[in-house]
């Protein structure tokens, strides 16, 4: 049976991470299995964790009164889910719901923040892994906000 460090080692997030740091951050992690429909976090709730999706898919949603829930991003195998744990007030901005059977590694955000504060090298390694997907998602969100496929842009 694989331990959490083994699972983490096989996730793209850990690519290039030295064994010492990997073991250190693995101490804040555990393996989870989510059924379709399970919520990973809810909008407005404390953001005390983030996920590395190993297999499966999670929808990021927001609820619009009178119109229902809207998915604006899906996070799938090999990707990172959750950034609100990084910055105060550590509050989830959106709902996150598994849309298929999902296996993930969940990190205790407070635990990892503590290790990053204690050792800036670990913090830098985490930053290098979080910033690229966050910037790419920001770029994608801008494109989505442009309404590229609307009639005027067809």
Tell me: does residue 65 bind other proteins (CB under 8 A): no
* Positions 90 through 119 that interact with other proteins (CB under 8 A): 97, 99-100
Of 74, 101, 120, 121, the one binding other proteins by CB under 8 A: 74
Whether cis (ω within 30° of 0) applies to the bond prior to 31 is: no
DSSP track, 44-86: TSB--EEEEEEESEEEEEEEETTTEEEEEEEEETT-EE--GGG
Taking the complex as a whole, how short is the minimal distance between the CB of residue 67 and other proteins, in angstroms? 9
Of 72, 114, 121, 124, the one binding other proteins by CB under 8 A: 72
Q: What is the DSSP letter of 92?
A: -
Taking the C-alpha atoms of residue 87 and residue 96, their distance in angstroms, rounded to an integer, is 18
Of 5, 22, 73, 134, the one binding other proteins by CB under 8 A: 73
* Interacting residues with other proteins (CB under 8 A): 57, 59-61, 68-74, 76, 97, 99-100, 136-137, 139-141, 143-144, 146-154
């Amino acid at each position: 049976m694989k331990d959490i460090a083994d699972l983490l080692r096989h996730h793209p997030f850990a690519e290039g991470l030295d064994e010492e740091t990997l073991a250190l951050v693995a101490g804040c992690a555990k393996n989870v299995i989510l059924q379709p429909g399970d919520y990973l976090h809810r909008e407005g709730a404390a953001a005390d964790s983030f996920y590395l999706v190993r297999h499966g898919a999670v929808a990021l949603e927001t609820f619009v009164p009178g119109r229902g829930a809207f998915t604006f991003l899906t996070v799938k195998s090999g990707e990172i889910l959750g950034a609100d744990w990084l910055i105060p007030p550590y509050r989830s901005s959106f709902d996150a719901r598994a849309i298929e059977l999902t296996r993930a590694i969940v990190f205790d955000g407070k635990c990892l923040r503590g290790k990053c504060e204690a050792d800036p090298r670990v913090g830098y390694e985490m930053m290098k892994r979080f910033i690229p997907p966050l910037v790419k998602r920001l770029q994608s969100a801008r494109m989505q906000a442009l309404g590229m496929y609307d009639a005027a842009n067809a």
